[in-house]
A = this chain, B = another copy of it.
Amino acid sequence: MRSSDRSSIPQGTLDMLILQTVAAGGEMHGFAIADAILEQSGDVLQVEEGSLYPALQRLLVKGFLTGEWGKTPDNRRARYYRLTVPGRKQLGVELAEYRRVSGAILRIIQPA
């Protein structure tokens, strides 16, 4: 009985959403990124942990984020992610591509 009206993240957009969230929020740890995406999307886009951490790993490996271990205010270990310069550039590329494609889809689904 999967009763949530929250949606899964469309494939290909998760990296962009993470980069954008870190760009806007500065230094954040994983949980906080997922929380911010959920909240800012109006409770629609829920990032599961099994999607979040592999995505963060990808972004680390590609050099778009740095991740430094630290402590949360209540003294728990956490990894703090920050956008790199190539990460900011990559965000721009992904935003442009997303807008291009979603614009194209709009032209189809909006009755001219």
Q: Considering the chains assembled together, what is the distance between the CA atoms of A77 and B100 in angstroms? A: 35
Interface 9-residue window, one of A9-17, A51-59, A62-70, A81-89 = A9-17
Name the CB-closest residue of B to A43.
B104
- State the interface size on chain A (CB cutoff 8 A): 29
A1: which B residues are within 8 A, CB to CB? none
List of 10 A-B pairs having minimum Cβ-Cβ separation, nearest first: A44-B104, A41-B104, A11-B11, A40-B108, A45-B104, A7-B101, A20-B109, A41-B108, A41-B107, A10-B10
9 A-B contact pairs sorted by A residue (CB < 8 Å): A7-B97, A7-B101, A10-B105, A11-B11, A20-B109, A42-B104, A44-B104, A45-B104, A98-B109
